[in-house]
Amino acid sequence: MTTTPEKIDLLIEPRWIAAVDSDSTLSNHAVAINKDRIVAVLPTREARTRFAPTTHTKLDDHILIPGLINLHTHAAMTLMRGIADDLPLMEWLQKHIWPTEGANLSPQFVHDGTRLACAEMLKGGITCFNDMYFYPDAAASAASDLGMRAVLGITTLEFPTPYASDATDYISKGLAVRQDWLSNPLINFCLAPHAPYTVTDASFERILTLSEQLNLPIHCHLHETAQEVEESIRQHGMRPLKRLHRLGLLGPNLIGVHAVHLNDDDLELLATTSSNIAHCPTSNLKLASGLAPVAKMRQIGINVGLGTDGAASNNRLDMFAEMRLASLLAKGVSGNAQALPAREVLRMATLGAAQALGMADRIGSITPGKQADLCAIDLGAPETRPCFDPLSHVINVAGREHVTHVWVAGKCCVDNKSLRKTKQNNLESALALWQNILEFRQQS
């Protein structure tokens, strides 16, 4: 008896698959996708008889990985790429970034900056980003326009910006935007108190209550500089992590960003509370913030994801660069060449980040039942050959320029290195206008 093949939307046949949910790299396997989900991961020969795909994509020299997840960025700040380089964090923020934002921040600024960031990230294999910025409605619209998955911060500060007047106003506006986007499966939200030095105990307490009520992650800069830690001890009599622990914020819902300056007590607090860290190695180096003890974090079981930070402090939204740098720094700092091998770094950039966002049941690995967020990397170019270990090549050899195809929820967003869904001319004209505006205001 002949069985009728099952109709599906897409069958992808790469040379290799790094599923991430297992330690093995598969070869001669295919991924079957219907609508927004992965139906099966199975041997190619079996897939060809079992399924009748509408689209059949063969990638003879490629490795297929889960879509990369940028666990920390400020997407709209891409419009400020390179305006204030080679400066320490507080001088960079107080004398350049905050004044520029004060003069230019608007919904249109956020929409255009986020569109630019999404275009860059998608072409580099990033399918989801965790954002901390203002006007989240404009950011949601931009990400949605390009078909990208986003977790947008309900950013909270105590001081006014053009977006909001005080902590209560920031939170109220953010919650209203979240409500407006609840029906969009690609747009999610988190609570984003900027940092312990910009948020009061009372605001942190309200944020904790909202996190528990709405089951939202808390995304917060933490222990980024030695000055931040020293100032906390002077003002509060304790280090920032201990203060947040006293307030009840440490736990599986917390994503602490940077976490550079940690002592043994800090590390123990993070581990025992199952808190998460977003490691941003390039930004930490560029702002001279320091070297995070990531190898030690992983050794004691702290979940660590990777982020680029914003393009104003990085100046790239390039997760391939972050993966390779994270691995190299961990080896150099720990004195252990086996620290953060390729498999573990890829997990940090995919399933580890998904876990931090509370989304590991939906994204982060090539697993049947999960959303089809995928990235195909061409390892057939001369600079990527010979290839003895394709997974090692993803971290140590390949770059974002080798990404050829990207799918988000089963829809192709990048096809043969070209964005599928963007009004490119409109974006380019907007970028030219913003460059002129920013240059004029800097010179005024």
State yes or no: pLDDT of 185 exceeds 70. yes
What is the spatial distance between Cα 32 and Cα 50, in angstroms, rounded to a whole number?
Answer: 10
Indicate if the alpha-carbon torsion angle 275, 139, 78, 103 is positive or negative. Answer: negative
What is the spatial distance between Cα 390 and Cα 25, in angstroms, rounded to a whole number?
Answer: 8
* Interval 267-314: pLDDT, tens: 999 999 999 999 999 999 999 999 999 999 999 999 999 999 999 999
Beta bridge partners of 407: 374, 412
What is the spatial distance between Cα 386 and Cα 393, in angstroms, rounded to a whole number?
Answer: 10
425 pLDDT band (50/70/90 cuts)?
Answer: low
What is the spatial distance between Cα 77 and Cα 74, in angstroms, rounded to a whole number?
Answer: 6
Element (H, E) at 178: helix 167-180
Q: Which residues contact 377 (CB under 8 A, 6 or more apart)?
A: 62, 63, 64, 65, 125, 394, 398, 402, 403, 404
What pLDDT score was predicted for residue 444? 65
* Interval 26-37: pLDDT, tens: 999 999 999 999
* Interval 51-108: pLDDT, tens: 999 999 999 999 999 999 999 999 999 999 999 899 888 898 899 998 999 899 999 9
* Interval 110-144: pLDDT, tens: 999 999 999 999 999 999 999 999 999 999 999 99
Nearest to 360 by CA among 350, 349, 373, 368: 350
What is the spatial distance between Cα 377 and Cα 61, in angstroms, rounded to a whole number?
Answer: 8
What pLDDT score was predicted for residue 438? 87
Distance of CA 276 to CAs 29, 127, 149, 230, 353, Å? 33, 20, 20, 23, 9
What pLDDT score was predicted for residue 379? 98
- Given a contact cutoff of 8 angstroms between Cβ atoms, the answer to whether 378 and 406 are in contact is no
Where do the domains of the chain lie?
A: 6-66+365-409, 68-356
Please state the rounded mean pLDDT for residues 202-209: 98
- Given a contact cutoff of 8 angstroms between Cβ atoms, the answer to whether 33 and 340 are in contact is no
Half-sphere exposure of 430 (CA within 13 A, CB side): 16
What pLDDT score was predicted for residue 442? 72
424 pLDDT band (50/70/90 cuts)?
Answer: low
Alpha helices in 288-444 (DSSP H): 294-299, 319-334, 342-347, 353-356, 390-396, 424-443
- pLDDT above 90 as % of the chain: 90
Alpha helices in 51-94 (DSSP H): 89-92
What pLDDT score was predicted for residue 93? 86
What pLDDT score was predicted for residue 422? 59
2 pLDDT band (50/70/90 cuts)?
Answer: low
What is the spatial distance between Cα 283 and Cα 191, in angstroms, rounded to a whole number?
Answer: 22
State yes or no: pLDDT of 423 exceeds 60. no
For 6-66+365-409, CATH number out of 2.30.40.10, 3.90.1150.10, 3.90.79.10, 3.30.1180.20 equals 2.30.40.10
What pLDDT score was predicted for residue 316? 98
State yes or no: pLDDT of 1 exceeds 70. no
pTM: 0.97
CATH superfamily assigned to domain 68-356: Metal-dependent hydrolases (3.20.20.140)
What is the spatial distance between Cα 212 and Cα 248, in angstroms, rounded to a whole number?
Answer: 11
What is the spatial distance between Cα 234 and Cα 414, in angstroms, rounded to a whole number?
Answer: 50
- Given a contact cutoff of 8 angstroms between Cβ atoms, the answer to whether 220 and 193 are in contact is yes
